[in-house]
Amino acid sequence: MTRTQRRAFAIVLASALAVSTSVEADTCATMGATQFVDAVTYCATSVLPGQAGNDYGPENLFDGNPDSAWCEGVDGVGVGEVITLSFGGSPPFSRLIFMNGYGKSETAYFNNARPRRIEIVTDTALREVVQLPDHPLESHVDLARLLNHRHVQITILDVYPGSKFSDTCLGYVGADFEWSEELDQTMPPATPAPDAVPRAPEHILDLPDS
């Protein structure tokens, strides 16, 4: 193989790797600052291609629009697909808010699949498997501890099947900072460690001279 042929082969190979990486990479969107957090980045391992003027990317998980949703884009019902939330400059929290399915209408909700059982894993070593209710209204998942979670990974383990489509959709997910702040304020102060307990002052008695 000549030098020119090797160079051409390297260019073709690099292009193929770049395409492969872009196809396999997560699709991400970032929610800007709020009163509680500097930013939250939402990433999904797959996204259903847009159709009929509708988009199904991870930005729909925080846009506050009940008519939008993230929908996975793999063959089948999306078991094993993952949503990851990465928090920047956020306080501790211990509750997640979900709105299941594609809540645009009752027909859209039941036509598409919805997450049923999910696994939640955090960078603070929490792991929980929970079942989401089968309705598009707000529901809550309480985590075991109030911690400063920076990354939350949500994996679909099982779904409520759609009556018409196999796409699995989720309308909203986010940390409930307000509830967690109220919880933190009502928690009793932590008991100090034994070596941190202040010692009682010593009393010196003035004894009469004998």
pLDDT on residue 7: 46
* 199's tokens: 């010692």
pLDDT one-digit tens code per residue, 90-144: 999 999 999 999 999 999 999 999 999 999 999 999 999 999 999 999 999 999 9
pLDDT on residue 195: 53
* C-alpha–C-alpha distance, residues 128 and 142, integer Å: 10
Domains of the chain (ranges; CATH) run 26-186 (2.60.120.260)
Burial annotation 133-167 (CB, 10 A radius, 16+ → b, else e): eeebeeeebebeebbebeebbbbbeebbebeebeb
> Which phi and psi angles does 19 have, rounded to 5°?
-65, -45
Confidence label for 185 from pLDDT (cuts 50, 70 and 90) = confident
pLDDT mean over 155-183:
95
